[in-house]
Amino acid sequence: MIKIQNSSRIIDNVIFAIFGFAGILLFFLVVNAFDLEEYPIIENMYATDILFIILPVIAIILGVILSVEYRFKGNHGKAWIFFTVAITIWFAGELTYSYDTEVDPQDISTLTSDIFYISGYPIFFVFTIFYLKSRSKIISRKTIVGAVILSATFGIPTLYLTIGIDDELSDFEVLLYGTYPLLATLLLVPSIIAASLFFRGHVGLLWLLMMMGAFTDVIADTLYLTQEIEGSYGAGNLIDVFYLWSYVFYSLGAWSFIKTYRDAIKKNQT
């Protein structure tokens, strides 16, 4: 079993995360201050969209490295395959997203990015299941129930917001936009379970970071829903900071696992 990382490694990850988060936020503030979003780099692509290319690619590369490290075998090997596929699908959603597209259930082309985004959630959920499978004996029913209840506390406000939407959006749009935060809330359940194992010393820093990634996704999806209702979402919106932070959390989680895995191998060899 891989034990919890030493405090120095945790501190290093926290410092890197703080600088990463601050850098992303500062970049968005500068872009908005100078109205750079009024000047697209190319059609339907703006300065802030570059980060939606760079950060997912980093997470995908780390996922591939871990899949290869485990030789695509065992629960962990399969887990990292699903992780990589999920991030890749979300990345496809980022590439096909358009700020100006009006959702039309009769035109599948207007739902391309949504199909990618939504498809990534169940695959990412399978990643969490495979990872936790090897630790199923130390996960109590009480822990599972507690994680479900805690996760629901984040999902209920979104559900209330979705049901309370007025006639500004069609029933299909309400269902579509409400799906995102509810799926993100679902990811919180295994993430909370794993985070509890982290504080008990049964898993590494990876899962605390994964939980934070899922949590920022819930926040982003809920805020995105409110912005869509008001029709005020657009390029450079600060909501995107939370989406980008989730990629940072996922990447840091994968990187911390790589370091822990390789340290464990070196220890076994000596």
| The residue to which tokens 């309400």 are assigned | 174
In a domain, 132, yes or no: yes
Confidence at residue 245, expressed as pLDDT on a 0 to 100 scale: 94
Alpha-carbon distance of 169 to 176, in angstroms, equals 10
* Two tokens, residue 166: 């007025």
Number of domains in the chain: 1
* Two tokens, residue 120: 């990534």
Alpha-carbon distance of 124 to 121, in angstroms, equals 5
Phi, psi at 52, each rounded to 5°:
-75, -5
Alpha-carbon distance of 72 to 102, in angstroms, equals 40
Confidence at residue 212, expressed as pLDDT on a 0 to 100 scale: 84
Confidence at residue 167, expressed as pLDDT on a 0 to 100 scale: 58
- What 3-state DSSP class applies to 107? coil
Residue numbers of the domain that contains 261: 7-269
In a domain, 102, yes or no: yes
Confidence at residue 261, expressed as pLDDT on a 0 to 100 scale: 67
Confidence at residue 223, expressed as pLDDT on a 0 to 100 scale: 84
- Dihedral sign of CA atoms 77, 82, 88, 90 in order: negative
Confidence at residue 82, expressed as pLDDT on a 0 to 100 scale: 95
In a domain, 2, yes or no: no
Among candidates 217, 74, 191, 218, which has minimal Cα distance to 128?
Answer: 191
Please count the other Cβ atoms lying within 10 Å of the Cβ belonging to residue 205.
Answer: 21
Confidence at residue 13, expressed as pLDDT on a 0 to 100 scale: 72
In a domain, 257, yes or no: yes
Confidence at residue 267, expressed as pLDDT on a 0 to 100 scale: 66
In a domain, 1, yes or no: no
- What 3-state DSSP class applies to 45? strand
In a domain, 69, yes or no: yes
In a domain, 73, yes or no: yes
Confidence at residue 166, expressed as pLDDT on a 0 to 100 scale: 55
pLDDT in tens, the chain (270 residues): 444 445 666 677 778 888 889 999 999 999 989 887 777 888 778 889 999 999 999 999 999 999 998 888 888 889 999 999 999 999 999 999 988 777 888 888 889 999 999 999 999 999 988 888 878 888 888 989 999 998 888 777 776 766 665 556 677 877 887 788 788 888 889 888 888 887 777 777 777 788 788 888 888 888 887 787 777 788 889 999 999 999 999 998 888 888 776 766 666 665
In a domain, 32, yes or no: yes
